[in-house]
Amino acid sequence: MGLNASKCSIILEIENGNKVRMRNKYRKPTTSHCNAGNRWSILVWSFVGFIVMLQLYTLTSNSDAHKGPLQMHRQVSHYQHFRELEAVEEEDIQMPPPRRRSPRAAKRKPKRPPTMIDEFLDDSSQIRHMFFPNMNTAVDPRTDAVNQSFYYYPGKIWLDTEGNPIQAHGGGILYDQKSQNYFWYGEYKDGPTYHAHRRGAARVDVIGVGCYSSKDLWTWKNEGIVLAADEINETHDLHKSKVLERPKVLYNDETGKYVMWMHIDDVNYTKASVGVAVSDHPTGPFSYLYSIRPHGFDSRDMTIFKDDDGVAYLIYSSDDNSELHVGPLNKEYLDVTPVMRRILVGQHREAPALFKHDGTYYMITSGCTGWAPNEALVHASESIMGPWETMGNPCLGGNKIFRLTTFFAQSTFVLPLPEFPRSFIFMADRWNPADLRDSRYVWLPLTVGGAADRPLDYNFGFPLWSRVSIFWHKRWRLPSALRGA
């Protein structure tokens, strides 16, 4: 299944080879008038050629000198470092031996053998520590920074600068030009998990939206709850008995405001709306404006995306999660406009995370299986309004069950790394439905490049788009210049 690193580089080389051959094949013949000329003209042309070469040589050596050897070296090592992150890392995770059951229980119900997903969801599983390593292994920037660690450990507890587990689930990251800080917003879920009624999903009362700031994407300072739940007013959208999920923040260049969009729902997920809040500062407090049903439709999992031209879009699961809708926001980012397109119709996708590379839009989504993990898919389009085409599962490494469960996690955001154009951080949530506040973060390197895995529907079998790959690593870190080190 998995594409390994050497195959990757072979493909790249093959591609380059093709390009070179193509160029030679289609180059106009330039030798014909040489035949017509005499020896003199050959001599003159050789001399001209020599001068041109000399000019070119001095030009290129100048531009190299301009860059400086350090910078050149840095670019090379960035590249090498990301190539290392593209190595495929296997993971050996074994089912525990079957538990002994009393002979009577064994007679009563011949059950299907448990799967790895059953083990994942079973909070008394013998291999629980594989999915939810305990506090002793927590990533702690206060002590690890002495070792200049900067390592991400997907699935381990991740502490903030005060030593508390980061509470920013279903989140997203905004890079703020003004303060040159990253801000991570997400659901603050540090409360008890319970079921509102017998058939209700596991939930935590709404506390609010947490915000953390960082310069290096690893050391996160708690900036507090920037949009808080309402404790008293039971009819308010933000009353603690309601649902607030997947908050995302964009900066509006025209109004100078920070605008937050989020999924607002009631305990039974029948309100299915989006909420909007606004602030003058990235660290809030955000004022809650209202909730709407965008374009008159139900809206559950959602995200927002700001394009290069400053136009922002809302993307949401709709029609009972059977399809996604996409449409531009108004200039202030405070409402949708009447323009909307249905995309991925009938595909039942949620947890959308959008990004753009080289003029193409990409989106990662999950299936709809509640808190249980499932297979991610990547979709691509030349226009954000579609048509979007499904390319396949982007996950590489781990093992088969890792790849079929998005590494036991669900997409929430894809963060571009502007210094390294085809590289991104894939952000996902490893939900813990037995104790939602203890849900973990799975951050992994995502790259765009190489040929697609399987032929696509609409283009006669030729892959139109590059492959999107998310590489499993037990432990990894960004190239040093990207860490701000």
Ligand X SMILES: *[C@@H]1O[C@H](CO)[C@@H](O)[C@H](O)[C@H]1NC(C)=O
Binding region for ligand X (CB under 6 A)? 143-144, 146-147, 197, 233, 235-236, 266-268
Of the two residues 202 and 267, which places its CB atom closer to ligand X in the complex?
Answer: 267
Of the two residues 84 and 144, which places its CB atom closer to ligand X in the complex?
Answer: 144
Of the two residues 153 and 471, which places its CB atom closer to ligand X in the complex?
Answer: 153
CB of 236 to ligand X, least distance (A): 4
Contact partners, residue 335, CB within 8 Å, separation at least 6: 276, 292, 329
CB of 195 to ligand X, least distance (A): 11
CB of 233 to ligand X, least distance (A): 4
CB of 194 to ligand X, least distance (A): 14
Residue found under tokens 């405070």: 334
Q: What backbone torsions phi and psi does residue 73 show, to the nearest 5 degrees?
A: -60, -40
Of the two residues 66 and 199, which places its CB atom closer to ligand X in the complex?
Answer: 199
The pair of structure tokens assigned to 288 is 């809650």
CB of 415 to ligand X, least distance (A): 27
Of the two residues 263 and 430, which places its CB atom closer to ligand X in the complex?
Answer: 263
Cis peptide bond N-terminal to 154, omega within 30:
no
CB of 292 to ligand X, least distance (A): 13
Of the two residues 178 and 197, which places its CB atom closer to ligand X in the complex?
Answer: 197
Of the two residues 126 and 143, which places its CB atom closer to ligand X in the complex?
Answer: 143
CB of 261 to ligand X, least distance (A): 18
Answer yes or no: are the C-beta atoms of 250 and 275 closer than 8 Å: no
